[in-house]
Structure 1
Amino acid sequence: MTLAIIVQARFGSTRLPGKILNPLGEKTALARVLDRCARIPGADRVICAIPDTAADDAVADAAGAAGYTVSRGSETDVLSRYAKAARDCGADHVMRITSDCPVIDPVICGRVIDLLRENRADYACNNMPPLFPHGLDCEVFPAVLLHQADRLAKTAAEREHVTPWLREHPHLHHACLAGPGQGLERLRWTLDYPEDLAFFQAIFAELGEAAATVSAAELAALCLRRPDLVAINANRHNAARLETAQQAETASAPYRFRVAA
């Protein structure tokens, strides 16, 4: 199968405008995400899906300068933007990753891809329930289902968040790679607020260029040794995400998704 890693990116952000163009070491945060995506096992294409507005030209230029293919589409209808990007690169399967994940782990992404194949699933992810550190989320599915979602999804939330139609379809076979939990889901490795940028810059200051390839396990070990680093953005936890994680860890009934270790 032709697997495209499609990374959605935009300049606009109410909390931290232009966040993905900030430097992490010698490269932008966007380049760090794309470089990690290029190391995902089985990836045939890495494509950056960017709004077709003048305000996002700088993001498109940055992705192109980093050596990656750019597809441009609707600013608000992100589902249609994804479907267009998949068509542009001739993808048979799509892995969705967002550009606010500068330490996305290629090995974990590869395990999610394997989960889809081994279980003959229609959709696989690693955040249903969200028991990995926040910032490692990925999901993979056949492009034909992405195009079906693009035709059939109607609500604003389905169009903006890309995969709700896939995640909630009762007749699709879903699978989830189980995260470690046990408190590691409280680690915040996503770029959304100034405190998050400060956290990532502190990680690069601590590790140097090794931060560009540090694994999730190695970064978690560093965070456990250095609570001062974790404290930088600890006030920005996503309460709803943590509540979902806690409910999943304490639930006696099976989770709706098939969860694999």
Structure 2
Amino acid sequence: MNRTSNHAAVEQAPVTGVVIQARIGSTRLPGKVLMDLGGRTVLSHVIERCQAIEGVDVVACAVPKSKADDPVAEEATRNGAAVFRGAEKDVLGRVLGCARAQAMHIVMRITADCPLLDPTVCAGVLRLQRVTGADYVSNDMKLCWPRGLDCEVVTRAWLERAAEEATDAEDREHVTRYIRRHPEVHWEHLPLLGKSVQHIRLTLDTEDDLRDLRRIVATLPPGRTGWGYDRVLRLVAADPELAGRLNGRGQHDGLWMVRGI
């Protein structure tokens, strides 16, 4: 490579990408990412929503290497996402491998069980990182957003450091746990303007979740644009039975409190 091409490589614009964690296995609802939601798979909804996030250059899925996960990788490819296959248990290593494969500098991590994630909210998290230059930005360091709208952005440099330094099994499974607890990390939080709605559950972990998500999706317009979390919340508020169930199942798993905030 000559000096000109070397200089061009150095000057190349940073790549911002989404890494979607997706696998067939699930303790409570195996195969959930390939289940039908409004005539399409849950994963296809997640990929489409991620593709609509302003400022994102590439969307990729980090999928385990196992044969059982081949259908997940195939579905991701069908929906226009890049695919990286890695270790199932070392999720940190798998997400980092995906980021490396796509030459990402800034990584937005999404899980494949959040089909109602809001591209506008995700774009807000990304903008906050760009404005502040923070190492880590999320909308769940303080409880306020509905469960299922979770979004976090981290520099690849910190993913690399976490992968090198983290030895605890929990830190390898929960990708950013080590980063969120590290005292040297500059972190920022995207707040929800208005009353907290963190008690509302819009994610997929159980058959009950699937039933309620199907009920919501059936009333939403098709396509990835034209609606966001505010419309979903209005639909929930207008359906007392649904609202009661979602409120009753609203929960966070403790990771959000890792900072003691």
* Structure 1 residue aligned with 2:105: 92
1:156 paired with 2:156, answer no
Judge conservation of contact 2:52–2:224 (CA < 8 Å) in 1: no
- 1:40 to 1:210, Cα distance in 2 relative to 1, 3 A: closer
Q: Give 1:116 shift.
A: 1.0
* Structure 2 residue aligned with 1:125: 138
- 1:49 to 1:239, Cα distance in 2 relative to 1, 3 A: closer
1:161 and 1:208 mapped to 2: Cα distance? 34
1:211 and 1:148 mapped to 2: Cα distance? 35
* Structure 2 residue aligned with 1:68: 81
Matched positions, count: 247
1:155 and 1:181 mapped to 2: Cα distance? 37
2:201 and 2:100 mapped to 1: Cα distance? 33
1:168 paired with 2:181, answer yes
Judge conservation of contact 2:21–2:112 (CA < 8 Å) in 1: yes
Question: 1:27-56 deviations in whole A, cap 9, x for unaligned?
Answer: 110000010000111000000000000111
2:104 and 2:134 mapped to 1: Cα distance? 17
Counterpart residue identity of residue 74, structure 2: D
* Structure 1 residue aligned with 2:17: 4
* Structure 1 residue aligned with 2:242: 229
Judge conservation of contact 2:62–2:85 (CA < 8 Å) in 1: yes
1:179 paired with 2:176, answer no
Q: Give 1:234 shift.
A: 4.2
Please give the secondary structure, in 2, of the residue aligned with 1:12: coil
Question: 1:225-258 deviations in whole A, cap 9, x for unaligned?
Answer: 11222234444332656996xxxxxxxxxx877x
* Structure 1 residue aligned with 2:157: 144
Counterpart residue identity of residue 202, structure 2: W
Structure 1 portions without partners, runs of 5+: 245-254
RMSD: 2.1
* Structure 1 residue aligned with 2:47: 34
Question: 1:53-102 deviations in whole A, cap 9, x for unaligned?
Answer: 01111111111111211101000000000110011101011000100100
Question: Mean Cα displacement is larger for which, 27-36 or 201-210?
Answer: 201-210
Judge conservation of contact 2:139–2:145 (CA < 8 Å) in 1: yes
Q: Give 1:26 shift.
A: 2.5
Structure 2 portions without partners, runs of 5+: 1-13
Aligned with residue 198 of structure 1, among 211, 225, 229: 211
Q: Give 1:114 shift.
A: 1.0
Please give the secondary structure, in 2, of the residue aligned with 1:231: helix
- 1:17 to 1:212, Cα distance in 2 relative to 1, 3 A: farther
Please give the secondary structure, in 2, of the residue aligned with 1:71: strand
- 1:78 to 1:239, Cα distance in 2 relative to 1, 3 A: closer
1:161 and 1:167 mapped to 2: Cα distance? 10
Please, what TM-score do these two structures have when normalized by structure 2? 0.88
Percent of matched pairs sharing the same residue: 40
2:187 and 2:65 mapped to 1: Cα distance? 32
Q: Give 1:210 shift.
A: 5.7
Judge conservation of contact 1:132–1:180 (CA < 8 Å) in 2: no
2:193 and 2:29 mapped to 1: Cα distance? 30
Judge conservation of contact 1:191–1:197 (CA < 8 Å) in 2: yes
